[in-house]
Amino acid sequence: MAKLNENFLNLKKNYLFIEIGKRVKNYAEQNPDKPLIRMGIGDVTQPLAPIVVEAMKKACDEMAVKETFRGYEDSGAGYEFLRKAISEYYKSFGVDVSADIIRISDGAKSDCGNIVDIFGHGNTVLITDPAYPVYVDTNIMNGNKVIFADSNEENGFAAMPDENVKADLIYLCSPNNPTGSVYTKEQLEKWVAYALKNKAIIIYDTAYEAFISDPSIPRSIYAIDGAKKCAIEIASLSKKAGFTGVRCGYTVVPEELMVYAEDGSAHSVAQLWGRRQGSKFNGVSYPVQRGAEAVFTEEGLKQTNQAIEYYMENAKIMRETFDKLGIKYTGGHNSPYIWFKAPNNMDSWELFDYLIENIQVVGTPGAGFGKNGDGWFRLTAFGSKENTIEAMKRLEKLFS
């Protein structure tokens, strides 16, 4: 008799965005005359950069001709042309990440979920709360023990390590989804020191790195001394270059990074990850890898930065509204997210329904990201400028 992985029964019934989708669909069906402004799910809306599209099309043409056709990629780690381009990109902000410690993937969500495979169930997994639900759900699926570090109003939604808590795996995300907060160099140094002391591994999610404009904020965990001995970095082109529908990301696993067996022996995380990917993954589409390569050219960065500037202009419009209303928020600087405190003591889901009902704006209830998210709410800057202006006008009127 086929038996299920009973850990799945411990998952919350509905994935956050599925629940939102249902409520939005209900409202839209009952109110076809009231179009919704969607500032909820963090999807981009600006098209791909022309240089990316051209690179992908050229690669498609190569696939049409026997002499230039490409089948399986030998290494499975991603083509060297792309891994080198990413390594150069790291160099551009002063971080040394060599091409051979980068593995290309079909996105940060896949790597975030799949990396869990290589760690044993004996680990205590520390996740900041609130957090991207994938960290918690994938660890629950695997039967791991999850504990939380509070990100809250008091610490500016930037949880810090507690010497009295022993964690073996630590998920950090900066700029943070959902709170838009960013870790400073000094804060990350404390996390690295904690990890090194505890032989813990930090899984560092840099999906929103491209939104950092302040040069003092680290764009990579490897900007911190010692991080190569204690951190994996997972990155994405989804928000950086509008790849949410193209699918490409990468994960950095330094050679120095070790994980331990029960007998105390040290094992290379990079080798384990390579073995996992070698058996359960067959590389990323060649045209997609060529498109990704184009992102990291000088012209590619220039073109993709235009979209980022467009979104950050939206973030500014949102910040100004919340400033004017005197509503507390984090994010909106170095981040496409605005995370604000629900007015009038509403809880997150109450505010969600209230905003749809009254001003037809869809956001994301903070409670969906963890207990510290309740009473808070996430809006994204990924919409159009027109919609952002309109939504803020309505919001201002509603809460004035």
How far is it, in rounded angstroms, from Cα 308 to Cα 313?
Answer: 9
CA nearest neighbour of 305 among 213, 389, 217, 182: 213
Burial class of 202 by CB neighbour count within 10 A (0 to 12, 13 to 18, 19+): buried
Question: Which three-class secondary structure state does DSSP give residue 5?
Answer: coil
- Using CB under 8 A, which of the segments 211-219, 244-252, 321-329, 369-377 binds its own copies? 244-252
Told to check if 61 binds its own copies by CB under 8 A, we report: yes
Interface of this chain with its own copies, residues 287 to 306, rule: CB under 8 A = 287-288
Interface of this chain with its own copies, residues 317 to 346, rule: CB under 8 A = none
- Using CB under 8 A, which of the segments 13-21, 86-94, 319-327, 354-362 binds its own copies? 13-21
Give the contacts of 91 (CB within 8 A, at least 6 positions apart).
none
Closest separation in Å from C-beta 70 to its own copies? 4
The CA-atom distances, in angstroms, between 276 and each of 76, 90, 118, 246, 271 are 11, 25, 7, 23, 9
Closest separation in Å from C-beta 350 to its own copies? 25
Closest separation in Å from C-beta 92 to its own copies? 26
Residue among 283 and 359 whose Cβ is closer to its own copies = 283
Residue among 265 and 344 whose Cβ is closer to its own copies = 265
Closest separation in Å from C-beta 114 to its own copies? 6
How far is it, in rounded angstroms, from Cα 278 to Cα 10?
Answer: 29
Residue among 92 and 384 whose Cβ is closer to its own copies = 384
How far is it, in rounded angstroms, from Cα 151 to Cα 65?
Answer: 54
Told to check if 113 binds its own copies by CB under 8 A, we report: yes
Told to check if 114 binds its own copies by CB under 8 A, we report: yes
Told to check if 18 binds its own copies by CB under 8 A, we report: yes
Told to check if 4 binds its own copies by CB under 8 A, we report: yes
HSE-CB at 108 with a 13 A cutoff on CA atoms is: 23
Interface of this chain with its own copies, residues 139 to 168, rule: CB under 8 A = 141, 168
Binding-site size, its own copies (CB under 8 A): 84
Residue among 155 and 244 whose Cβ is closer to its own copies = 244
> β-strands 37-38, 361-362: how paired?
parallel
Given its phi and psi angles, is residue 331 left (phi above 0), alpha (psi -120 to 50 degrees) or beta?
Answer: left
Kindly tell me which residue out of 112, 192, 207, 359 binds its own copies, with binding defined by CB under 8 A. 112
- Using CB under 8 A, which of the segments 46-54, 208-216, 221-229, 327-335 binds its own copies? 46-54
Instruction: Assess contact for 315 and 336: CB atoms under 8 A.
Output: yes
How far is it, in rounded angstroms, from Cα 69 to Cα 81?
Answer: 16
Question: Which three-class secondary structure state does DSSP give residue 255?
Answer: coil
Told to check if 94 binds its own copies by CB under 8 A, we report: no
Closest separation in Å from C-beta 197 to its own copies? 11
Look at the block and give the residue holding tokens 């993954």.
Answer: 281
**Pattern 175-214, its own copies, x by CB under 8 A:** -----------------------xxxx-------------
- Using CB under 8 A, which of the segments 95-103, 106-114, 182-190, 336-344 binds its own copies? 106-114
How far is it, in rounded angstroms, from Cα 235 to Cα 160?
Answer: 22
Told to check if 2 binds its own copies by CB under 8 A, we report: yes
Closest separation in Å from C-beta 135 to its own copies? 10
How far is it, in rounded angstroms, from Cα 302 to Cα 308?
Answer: 10
Told to check if 80 binds its own copies by CB under 8 A, we report: no
Told to check if 375 binds its own copies by CB under 8 A, we report: no
CB 2: neighbour CB atoms within 10 A? 3
Told to check if 360 binds its own copies by CB under 8 A, we report: no
